[in-house]
Amino acid sequence: MSAYNIVSVAGSDPSGGAGIQADLKAFSAHGTFGMTVVTALTAQSTRGVTGVHPVPAEFVAHQMDTLFADATVHAVKVGMLGTSEVTEAVAEAIGRHALPNVVVDPVMVAKSGDRLLESSAVEALRSELLPRADLITPNLPEAADLLEEPEAADLATMRAQAARLLELGPRRVLLKGGHLSGGESVDVLASRGSDPVEFRAPRVATRNTHGTGCTLSSSIAALLPQRPDVAAAVGDAKAYLTEAIRRADEIDAGGGQGPVHH
Ligand code: PLP
């Protein structure tokens, strides 16, 4: 029996590299039992997203209410939300069910350039959902959108932006520096009342990085109940992701940007 139930509230990626499909693989890899609340269907392959079919907000809430009336949940990962209505419904249900260990990956635009969150939903994400998160995991373009500032181009600006993201209300911020150039990828973990912690990993030369953000946030959610503190969960999740990227070229899932290997 697995001791921990982890829920992904996210979109479906039929190509298996991102979204709920990636999250379930990561949950299993970390020895937990995965559950899903689907927020949107996408049609996509390694070449990009060709369509998005949002689930009505009331039915997203209905999935959550049905599940949480029955199952004990130890952590939640929130990914693609699609619309402002779904964002508000998810934020409200997280509060109503007092869910623990809430990790929000503020998914906005796929690496292929396709939008996964309506522009008009950014305000609901900022004001309704982020204050309910124990941890948010934006990349540099997402941080820039949330703060309405230019994208950070160096580590000093990343540290300052991580601190400003904390002011939006989450308990912690993991600002991911993967979009910066350099031999290493550096992420900054900022927490209220304590010094920031930095995580470094070697940059792996591959174009197959589809689903990295989903994999990191779901790994952190699965590890939070199993580690003594957030920094330990983030460190182990990042090590898992680095290995998944290193093995990405073993998969042949199509002719575009392929998935990381779980
Ligand atoms: N599809 C879904 C359903 C997602 O949730 C995400 C990312 O969160 C993506 C696609 C995009 O993944 P990537 O930007 O890693 O290619």
Among 109, 214, 215, 262, residue to substitute to test ligand 1 (most atoms within 8 Å of Cβ): 214
Q: Is residue 236 part of a domain?
A: yes
- At position 148, the amino acid (one-letter code) is E
Q: Is residue 21 part of a domain?
A: yes
Cα(194) to centroid of ligand 1, in Å?
31
Q: Is residue 259 part of a domain?
A: no
Interaxial angle between packed helices 19-29 and 212-223, expressed in degrees from 0 to 180 and rounded to the nearest 10: 40
With a Cβ cut-off of 6 Å, ligand 1 is lined by 10-11, 13, 18-19, 42, 79-80, 107, 110-111, 116, 210-214
Query: ipTM higher than 0.85?
Result: yes
Q: Is residue 260 part of a domain?
A: no
**What does pTM read for this prediction?**
0.97
pLDDT in tens, 135-191: 999 999 999 999 999 999 999 999 999 999 999 999 999 999 987 878 888 999 999
CATH number where 147 lies: 3.40.1190.20
pLDDT category at 4 given cuts 50, 70, 90 is very high
Catalytic residue among 36, 79, 137, 176: 176
Measuring CA to CA, which residue among 32, 30, 33, 36 is closest to residue 10? Answer: 36
| Residue 176 annotated among the catalytic residues of the structure | yes
Three-state SS across the chain? Answer: CCCCEEEEEEEECCCCCCHHHHHHHHHHHCCCEEEEEEEEEEEEECCEEEEEEECCHHHHHHHHHHHHCCCCCCEEEECCCECHHHHHHHHHHHHHCCCCCEEECCCCECCCCCECECHHHHHHHHHHHHHHCCEECCEHHHHHHHHCCCCCCCHHHHHHHHHHHHCCCCCEEEEECCCCCCCEEEEEEEECCEEEEEEEEECCCCCCCECHHHHHHHHHHHHHHHCCCHHHHHHHHHHHHHHHHHCHHHCCCCCCCCECCC
Q: Is residue 256 part of a domain?
A: no
pLDDT in tens, 85-126: 999 999 999 999 999 999 999 999 988 888 999 999 999 999
Number of structural domains (the chain) is 1
Residue 57's domain comprises 5-250
Measuring CA to CA, which residue among 7, 30, 20 is closest to residue 219? Answer: 30
Catalytic residue among 212, 235, 238, 258: 212
| Residue 211 annotated among the catalytic residues of the structure | yes
In this structure, the residue with its CA closest to atom 11 of ligand 1 is 110
Residues with Cβ within 8 Å of 156's Cβ and at least 6 positions away in sequence, in order, are none
Cα(42) to centroid of ligand 1, in Å?
10
Q: Is there a contact between 42 and 16 (Cβ–Cβ < 8 Å)?
A: no
